[in-house]
Chains A and B, each alone.
Chain A
Amino acid sequence: MKERILAAILVGVLGWSTHIEPTWAQAQEEPEAQVSDPWEGFNQPMFTLNLKLDEYVLRPVATAYDTVMPDGAQRGVGRFLKNLGVVERFANNVFQGKLPGAGQEAGRFLVNTVLGCAGFIEVAEPVFGWKESPEDFGQTLAIYGAANGPYLVLPFYGPSTVRDTAGLVVDSALNPMNYLLSTVEVVAIKGGLTLTNAVNSRSMNLDLFENVERSAVDLYGAVQDGYIQRREQAIKE
């Protein structure tokens, strides 16, 4: 009771405090359930394989890339690769009824491609205030009520769930490259882009990866939960 009165006084005095639904406070009383992982027997070896891949391939390449490639250029490559994913983001904004987001995605693609050297330079946000609306089909499925399904570790891609893996397949089919080029060309280009993207984002997050490994008592559990929490937030947004 005392706490409530004090909180009320604080809220009254500090006008910029926002009131939250009481259900939020109630939600703080109970910790959430553990991540469902019935396929751990498959996931654990796959996780180990990805760690080895990271240790012997991705990290050395990313470290070398980080040494020769200035930060600004790394961010440019990241933006260029993101710009290519416009169709997936546009379509998923439409599927989720987020028409302003879809419009902004189309506008961003045009402006960043034409004025931003094929997407290497971000023009749309600083000039027009158009922010990226990063929606994917996994999130679309969640919006329509699909549960996460079991946790799943994919080779190379890393953490996922059954729902998000289905989303990846659909998003891949939404890529115009599949209809413009032969299968071999698509695999080669997508493989190259995926690898470049992985190396680029890995090099930009060298410290972050080291911190995760440093802070984790059980790395598999830390990465698993991190993925689930990030996805929950992405769906909310």
Chain B
Amino acid sequence: MRYSTLGKATGIVVLVFSAVAWAAESPMEAIRRTVEQATHILQDPANQGREKFQERIAKVRSIVEPQFDVQEISKRTLGTYWQERTDQERKEFMTVFTELVQKTYSGTLDRYNADVQFFYDQERIDGKFAEVDSRIFDPAQNRAFAITYKMHQSNNQWLIYDVVAENISMVRNYRNQFNRILSKSSYQDLIQTLQTKIKELDTAPASASTRAPSAG
């Protein structure tokens, strides 16, 4: 789950470099590197065009996903219900939940444009936990969005276990939604609901921004 297929040769090179980088990387450097690599893919002229959408997203996913601790996110998202799941159910949940998040945000990611600026304000480290405060400034909307990455150290890597966007923790928000579903129905019903949502996202791709950029 944590290692996406990048192609054998590239994979080995990337893993060697990454291992060296991870050992010395601070949490903020890990975030900055990931954002820079992802934006580079999105801006690369070779990746442009509607027909290359899936390819673009797959490339970005191969960069971004290893930076997330999917198991930790899933565990925190299910909260107390995680303990009740079998290993197979946990794997199933991790796969479905990852698919949901990817489908939800790939459209938003793809609307990214070169004018957007990233600012890295500060990092706080305490033992094996860290937080990185950043801001994304979108000139089209003339506003900045605060994003805090919550990270923890796992096998000498700083991995993300929650993203707090404009003071709303995504993990906590999903946990409230999933717990509400699980308090009234079964785990299988939750999986069914997530799969229905994924199909819905597949058939209704993210609409383009409704607002024309203006100098207002």
Seen from chain A, the residues whose Cβ lies within 8 Å of a Cβ on chain B are 2-4, 6-7, 10-11, 14, 16-22, 24-25, 28, 31-32, 34-35, 63, 66, 70-75, 206-207, 210-211, 214-218, 220-222, 224-226, 229-230, 233
Structural contact, A215 and B127, CB atoms closer than 8 A: no
What's the Cα separation between A225 and B26 when bound, in Å?
A: 31
| B56 contacts A by Cβ under 8 Å | no
Residues from chain B with a CB closer than 8 A to the CB of A18 are: 122, 124
- A32-B172 CB under 8 A given contacts A17-B123, A25-B126, A222-B177: yes
Tell me the number of A-to-B contacts counted with CB atoms below 8 Å.
Answer: 128
Structural contact, B209 and A207, CB atoms closer than 8 A: yes
What's the Cα separation between A28 and B122 when bound, in Å?
A: 19
Residues from chain A with a CB closer than 8 A to the CB of B174 are: 217
* Chain B interface size, under 10 / 10 to 19 / 20 to 34 / 35 or more: 35 or more
| B203 contacts A by Cβ under 8 Å | no
Residues from chain B with a CB closer than 8 A to the CB of A3 are: 127-128, 153, 156
What's the Cα separation between A224 and B172 when bound, in Å?
A: 11
Residues from chain B with a CB closer than 8 A to the CB of A224 are: 176
* Interface window among B12-20, B41-49, B61-69, B193-201: B193-201
What's the Cα separation between A102 and B152 when bound, in Å?
A: 40
What's the Cα separation between A137 and B124 when bound, in Å?
A: 32
Q: Please, could you name 29 A-B residue pairs with CB atoms under 8 Å apart, sorted by A?
A: A3-B128, A3-B156, A7-B126, A7-B128, A17-B26, A17-B122, A17-B123, A17-B124, A19-B126, A22-B126, A25-B127, A28-B129, A28-B150, A31-B172, A34-B79, A34-B175, A70-B214, A72-B214, A73-B216, A75-B216, A210-B207, A216-B177, A218-B178, A220-B180, A222-B176, A222-B177, A229-B169, A230-B167, A230-B168
Residues from chain B with a CB closer than 8 A to the CB of A72 are: 214-216
What's the Cα separation between A11 and B129 when bound, in Å?
A: 12
What's the Cα separation between A217 and B189 when bound, in Å?
A: 12
Closest-CB distance, A34 to chain B (whole angstroms): 5
| B8 contacts A by Cβ under 8 Å | no
